[in-house]
Amino acid sequence: MKQEDYIKGHPGEWLLLFNDEIIDHSANVEDMLRLAEEKYPADKFPDDVIKISKVLSGNIRLH
């Protein structure tokens, strides 16, 4: 199993980050993608300043 799939299957919050600063969060990644597109359109902001990351909750062990 890919680590990506493993992470998607665990509970947690998705974060929208701009220049490594948390802008918003949601349990739904689609909400974060939509917000990123609305607030930071690709034609105005470089890709490297906008990130979406997941903070896992619970007792998680990655191998």
Selection from 4, 31, 26 nearest residue 15 by Cα? 26
What are the tens digits of pLDDT across the range 22-50?
A: 999 999 999 999 999 999 998 999 888 99
Contact at 8 Å (CB) between 3 and 62? Answer: yes
C-alpha pair distances (Å), 22 with each of 2, 5, 25, 53 = 26, 23, 8, 10
Residue 24 lies in a domain: yes
Residue 52 lies in a domain: yes
Amino acid identity, position 47:
D
Residue 62 lies in a domain: no
Dist. CA 12–CA 57, nearest whole Å: 5
Residue 10 lies in a domain: yes
Contact at 8 Å (CB) between 5 and 22? Answer: no
Residue 1 has pLDDT above 80, yes or no: no
**Domain count across the chain:** 1
What are the tens digits of pLDDT across the range 49-61?
A: 999 998 888 766 6
* Greater model confidence, 16 or 11: 16
Residue 63 lies in a domain: no
Q: Could you list the residue range(s) of the whole structural domain that residue 13 is in? A: 3-56
